[in-house]
Amino acid sequence: MIYLDNAATTQMFEGGVDIYKKYACQSFFNPSAGYAQSIEIAKELNVARDKILNKLGSSKGNIIFTGGATESNNLAIMGSKRNGKWEYVFSVGEHPSVYNVARELESQGHIVHFVGLQENGQIDYNQLEKVLNSKTRLISVMHSSNETGAINDLRLVDKIRKDKSPQALLHVDGVQAFCKLEYRIDDYNIDLYTISAHKFHGPKGVGALYVRNCASLKNIVFGGGQENGYRSGTENVPGIMSMVYAIENIDVKQNYRRVKELNKKLKEIFSKDENISYVNGNNPYVISFGFAGVNGETLMRALENEGIIVGTGSACSAKKAGNRILENCGLSKDKVKTHIRISFDFNQTIDQIEEAGEIILKTYHNLLEKVK
């Protein structure tokens, strides 16, 4: 099997499994308890926070541990909500765990603006500038698209915010960027930033929310007051520690170079066929390819039989018709249906990509013959 759906999830590092077992079976103590073993675990959690801050490129701020990206995004958005006639701004290209929270805000009677996308998948910066004003409370913009690989210009977003809405908070869903792209969030003046462990070889069910100033946030889960009151519930210590293990064992710069080569190789293989197109996102880890004349889901199923695993878009939306992101990049509904998503991992080789590319081409042409 050649797995090319790494934007959906990644294989956990074996070393991380050992770390998980250690904190599940040996150092299993509850960090909120008062005896020495628990106090030691609480100290280790604080060290873990510092390591995440360092990887994010922040010299300040706080890390709140959560159950994953969906919870982090909900906490960032709903925790930023305030009474009064505030307005909230989102791009239409957001992951469902942001987009559907925006829709919930709208259903509650809040003023919500959705900013469109350019053909390359990036947010429409001109439209963003037009909707921001003195009443904007929160701007939520994805760092890198899980559908197209488009990377938004966060420096430009921050500049527009400073010019039009200096009081607004900036939330960034960084799930497809963290541990994949080189950056420092301090350079973008980000207030809230979401990460998810299983996207970078950590375990599922654990993530974190970076918060520059906790005074800007309110808790949305009530209970025992863990995570300084911002996220009640006993911390998932095994998950957190294995997440940090993954962070420490990822060389972002080296991995980026390797994945860029994989991306280039697959595009070269597909360039043999003028009926294959792609959305030109600039994150090499993710590409959305269109195969004219063939339904993307049909191609995905056929490839599975050949030992090639690809996706058709966000795993959270796999059972829903259409694709909001691709349609907002200007693709017709018929063209959207022909797309599959291919997402790489740095552990893969050029040989594997060459093999996968040739199998995909062959399978595509076989399907084309059947529909003629």
Within 13 Å and on the Cβ side, how many CA atoms surround 8?
A: 16
Catalytic residue chosen out of the listed positions 25, 179, 316, 329: 316
One-letter identity of residue 336: V
Q: Cα separation of 340 and 296, whole Å?
A: 5
Name the strand (E) or helix (H) holding 76.
Answer: helix 69-78
- How many CB atoms are closer than 10 A to CB 198? 22
For residue 10, what are its two tokens? 């990644």
The burial of 34, by beta-carbon neighbours within 10 Å (0-12 exposed, 13-18 middle, 19 or more buried), is given as exposed
Beta-bridge mates of residue 19: none
Is the separation of the CB atoms in 110 and 345 below 8 Å?
no
Is the separation of the CB atoms in 288 and 149 below 8 Å?
yes
Starting from the edge strand earliest in sequence, which strands make up the sheet with 339-343, in order? 276-279, 286-291, 339-343
Is residue 179 among the annotated active site residues? no
For residue 20, what are its two tokens? 């998980």
Q: Kindly report the backbone phi and psi dihedral angles of residue 240, in degrees, each rounded to the nearest multiple of 5, phi listed first.
A: -65, -45
Starting from the edge strand earliest in sequence, which strands make up the sheet with 207-211, in order? 62-66, 207-211, 192-196, 169-173, 136-140, 87-91, 111-115
Q: Cα separation of 38 and 44, whole Å?
A: 10
Whose structure tokens read 């801050």?
53
For residue 226, what are its two tokens? 């863990």
Task: Tell me which residues are annotated as active site.
Answer: 316
